[in-house]
Structure formats: C-alpha cells, structure tokens
Structure 1
Amino acid sequence: MLPGVAGAQSSQPQPPAERKLVDGFDGKDFAPEGGLYYRENFEQSAGSVEFQSLVKRTGTGGLKLSVVPHCPSLNDGCSERAEIWEKTELRVPYDEGVWYGFAVKFDDPIPNGDHRYLIAQWKREIDPGADGDFSPFLALRMDLGKLFATVETNYLPPASTGPDNVPARCGAGETPVWLRPDVNQMRILVAADSNWEPEDGSLFNSCTTAVRVTNHGNPLPHPDSGWIDFAVYTKPGPDGTGHIELYANGKPIVTVKGHIGHADKGLGENQYFKFGPYRAADTTDWTLYYDDFRRSPFCTDVLTNGTCPF
C-alpha cells in the first residue's frame, strides 16, 4: 500500500447517518461533537436557552429551555418555541434509520390545560417554496398534563370512521387516527401515559390499518415523574416501510411499522430532529430541562439502560 493512502481514506468525512453525536450540556455552549444549535427566528424569540448546573441528570450541567407569552394574539396561528435543532449538514437521509436519545425533566408548574404542547419532534425537510405545512412524522406531545405520542403520514382511507369528537373504538390491528384529508395528512395515536383516558383522544375518532402498533405493556411516564430518558429509532417510510421504536427509561413502549411520514412533492431528502418546548400561543411561562443528547446508527450507543431490539 502506498504511503499515506490509508490515512487519506480514514480522513474522508463520514456520511451523516454514520456520525455519532453527543452533548451532555456540561459547558457554556453546545458541544462541537453534538451538532446542535439554537435557531433564531420570530417564534424562537419567545424562548430562552441557558446552560446551567443546578438541574442536571448526569455530568455537571443541563440545558434549561423556556418560553414566555410572545405572540400578538392567541388566535392568529402563531407559536412560541425554544427548540434545539440538528445542524443541516448533519441530517440523516429520510429513508435511513437512526437512533436518538435525550432526557427531559418538566419544571413546575407543569401545564395541564387543553392546549398544544410538544417536547420533541421529528420532521422531513421542506424545499423552499413547497406548498403545504407538514406535521412531524413523530412527535412527543402533552395535553391536559398527560404525555402522548403521535405518528403522521399521508391520508389513506380509514378502516372505520366515527362521529366527530367521539374517541374511536378500534379493533385488532387498527389504531386510532385523526383524519385530515384536506391537507393529505392523518395523525395516528400510538402511545400515552397511564393517566390517559379514552375521552382525552376525542380528536382520534377513526381507525386505521396504515400502521401496526405493537404495545410492549409499558405506558409513557408521567410528566411529573422526574427525569425521563427517551431512546427512539426513526426510519420513515411513507410507502409502508416505516419503522419506529420508542423507549422511555430503558423500557420498550411501542414498536410502530407501516406508513410513516410524507411523500408529497417539494419535500426534501432528509429527516431532522428538534427538541424543546413548543406550543400554540399561551399566557403563561413554560420551562423544560434537557440532558444527555446522543445520536447514533447503533442502538447500544443510545439505549444505555435497556435491551436493544436489533
């Protein structure tokens, strides 16, 4: 072998899907090896980010993310965010699987109103000028002080449809879904915490076989249970090849397979992850703490307190 050839090969940059990212938020800024940043725009100006040492899960520090009332009106579609993004050049191709991990702790008071709250979301890139507003293909949400998870895909005819605002009673192999044919999307309820009641899912009034949800017998943790460490495998597949694994505190919550994500014109080639408090306009302050972010193609790098499924 010629001198220097091996070194030249090893110096080639890794494809994004093969990169391992990690940030324990122990310094005064985002770690270079974490690939994260705070995005600046109008809705993000409702938020603040603080590297602090008083509330942490491991190491010497944690990230404090807060939002305050900011929108001109509560009813103009404006949102309030303090979200942390992956850098664009590190995003994973949409058709490839990757593991994400992060820990979150809810500060008091925990919002308990009927409102739109998200703590983490996975989306597909949208090309500039594309027509439409596409919801996250996976989101960790909260309503009425209860955690739940949803998967989004393009609209497909439902297995059954019930009256508006009446929770669906789905049979074997079916999953509750909120149909949105006017925007060629539908949102599927895949997991919730143990305080979730059927009436909490009144929006999900239809049933779908577009995804297959395997429930592993563990509900999502309650928002007031302290640090929650999530490990998530995401592999979108709008054609029916999608695959999600959701873990919390080392326990498997659900496996989701089937139609996951969107395939409309004008969508980009990559998926991306962002986390932090995100809500519709509100009148109160809301704070979350985050720690131990990691991303890897390998489960064992992310699921540090559990058994990897593959």
Structure 2
Amino acid sequence: MALVLAPIPLWADEAVLRDDFDGKDFAPEGGLYYRDNFEQSAGSVEFQSDVTRSGSGALKLSVRPNCAPESEGCSERAEIWERTALRVPYDHGAWYAFALRFAKHIPQDDHRYVMAQWKREIGPDADGDFSPFLALRMRSGVMFATVETNFVAPPASAPRPADGICPEGWAPVWLRPETRQMRVLVAEAPDLSTKIVPEFDHCTDQVQVVGPAVLPSAEAEWHDYAFFTKPGPNGDGLIHIVADGALVATATGRIGHDDIGLGANQYFKFGPYRDAGKGEWTLFYDNFTRSPQCDAVLPASICGEFE
C-alpha cells in the first residue's frame, strides 16, 4: 500500500524550533519551557551531561509521588511545553523530533504512563476533557502509540480483533462513548498483548493504519523519534511515526476532535506523565526539533518516502 504524502504546511510562524539541551536552560530558539502548576510540582527538570544522545547535554525529567495514593483525577508530571505563541494551527501539519531514553528503573506495573502527547487547545466553553489526538504511552513496561477522535459507533457487522489484530482496513479501538471519544491503537512494541491493554477490543474503519507499526521497546538505550502530526477530525487526518530512521506507522482518517469550544491550535508536550504513582520515574530527552519540513528532522533519504 502506497504511503500517504505529508502536505507542506503553511502557518504564520514557520521558524524551525530546535534545542539540543547543551546549556543550563532552554535555548531561546527552541521555544520550550517547564510549566509551573500543581501537577508539575511532582516533577523536576535537570540540564545534565552524564547521559546524552549527542553534544554535551540532555534533559533529565523525573516525577515523584505527589498525589494521595490511589487518588482519582490527580496526575504527576514533568512535562516540557511549546510556548503558546508558537503553537501550530490545528488544521496544519508539522514535523517533531526528539531522542528518548528511559532510566534504568523502568516501571512494570499496570499503570498509565505517557512520554509525549499532542493535544488541541481547550477553550472555556468546551464541554468535556479531551484526550491527546496522538500520544506515546507505556503500560506494564510496554510502549504503544494511540490516536484519539470523536466517538463513532462501529456497525453491528464490524469485525472484532483476533489476538489484538483487526482485518485490513480496520484498526483496534477502545470505544469510550461516555466521553464521546475513541482511542485507536496505531503502533506498539513487540511484546504488547491484549492482556496488557485489554480495552482495545473492537475494530474501527474510521482510522486506517499502515505498518509495520512496531515501536522500540522501553529500555535504557537511546532511540530517535520523528512524528508528522496533522489532525483531521472529519476524516483528513494524517500521522507518520518514525523511529530510529524507519517508518513505524502511518495513520489516516478521523484523528482529533471538532467539538464546540475547542481552540484553533494544536500543542505538544513531552516528559514523564502518570496517574498517582509510587517511586520515582525518570526519562532523558535530547535533540528536540519542530519544523514544517521533513528534512529539518530526518535525513533526506528518509524524507523521500513522504514526497
């Protein structure tokens, strides 16, 4: 099946954002910052030089327990945000890249862990809490990627996954009508199983995924990621996921939300994010780039696949 081509995005500020984290603070040209709020008070950010992907520095981001044990609706975060003035319009596409490494203690519990997420702005008139339209996640020590969109009930004749796999043209989905959303599984590490994420128990034809859809495992080794993100809640969404120079997955179709009261822009956050948890969880990040053009984040030989 041929790759879907990534359109060239156009927005007001097309400057490339880049931060190699080699200094003692965020680089002005990177457009990043550490947000200060209660959830983020569980986290710490360190510009360090002991563990790096390249250059002289990398970010060390950690979270520690800050919520009451087993509390509902409380999360612990150490996320790095794009500055608001630099956000990309929701209906445009952008390339993002970063290197990611887990610290040696990798959580193995059945718990929600998120390493990177892309969301739509939520205005004061919006009704509901909207999940990220793209997220890099982990559960029981296994990585996977998801896209989210508005809930569309599958027809009665829709197939069900067999060993976690849907027929061609269909993708595993977690139906969540109570939140008017549904979450689609688009990529996974080799050791993911329906026992780890049993919620993906239906198939949807609203999002199509072209594989091999295999992510690197969660490990104390560096891996290089690149993502093209263009939401399209009405059916023209497009996501590319690249890891270590190889295409992991392309997702097309209904991606993102179009509810009343949502904002005009998308925004990106990266760093450890979990529900109320135990112990300390640490991730390392390096070599962040955001650009409207593929060749700013990937070698030209790889970008040729998307032209």
Given the two structures, how large is their TM-score scaled by the length of structure 1? 0.91
Q: What SS class does the counterpart of residue 307 from structure 1 fall into?
A: helix
Is 1:82 the counterpart of 2:89? The answer is: no
Partner residue in 2 for 1:230: 225
Superposed displacement of residue 167, structure 1: 6.3
The match for 1:150 among 135, 146, 150 is 146
Partner residue in 2 for 1:10: none
Contact residue 122 and residue 262 of structure 2 kept, 8 A:
yes
Q: Which has the larger radius of gyration?
A: 1
Superposed displacement of residue 242, structure 1: 0.2
Partner residue in 2 for 1:219: 214
**Structure 2 residues not aligned, in runs of 5+:** 1-10
Partner residue in 2 for 1:279: 274
Partner residue in 1 for 2:133: 137
RMSD, matched Cα: 1.7
Amino acid at match of 2:150: N
Superposed displacement of residue 134, structure 1: 0.3
Matches of 1:42 and 1:305, distance apart in 2: 42
**Structure 1 residues not aligned, in runs of 5+:** 1-13
What is the aligned residue count? Answer: 293
Q: What SS class does the counterpart of residue 131 from structure 1 fall into?
A: coil
Matches of 1:169 and 1:296, distance apart in 2: 34
Counterparts of residues 285-304 of structure 1 (less than 5 Å): 285-304=280-299
Could you tell me the percent identity over the aligned residues?
58
The match for 1:94 among 90, 95, 112 is 90
Contact residue 250 and residue 306 of structure 1 kept, 8 A:
no
Partner residue in 1 for 2:236: 241
Is 1:262 the counterpart of 2:262? The answer is: no
Given the two structures, how large is their TM-score scaled by the length of structure 2? 0.92
Amino acid at match of 1:15: A
Question: Structure 1, residues 132-175: CA drift from partner, whole Å, max 9, x if none?
Answer: 10000000000111110000000012253769xx9655222110
Matches of 2:221 and 2:299, distance apart in 1: 18
Q: What SS class does the counterpart of residue 217 from structure 2 fall into?
A: coil
> Does the C-alpha gap of structure 1 residues 237 and 139 become closer, same or farther in structure 2, counting only changes over 3 Å?
same
Q: What SS class does the counterpart of residue 263 from structure 2 fall into?
A: strand
Matches of 1:251 and 1:262, distance apart in 2: 29
Partner residue in 2 for 1:3: none
Partner residue in 1 for 2:3: none
Counterparts of residues 29-48 of structure 1 (less than 5 Å): 29-48=25-44
Amino acid at match of 1:40: D
Partner residue in 1 for 2:180: 184
Is 1:307 the counterpart of 2:302? The answer is: yes
Partner residue in 2 for 1:194: 190
Matches of 1:101 and 1:246, distance apart in 2: 10
Question: Structure 1, residues 183-213: CA drift from partner, whole Å, max 9, x if none?
Answer: 1100000100111123323111111000110
Amino acid at match of 1:28: K
Superposed displacement of residue 92, structure 1: 0.2
Matches of 1:237 and 1:244, distance apart in 2: 10
Superposed displacement of residue 76, structure 1: 2.2
Matches of 1:266 and 1:218, distance apart in 2: 33
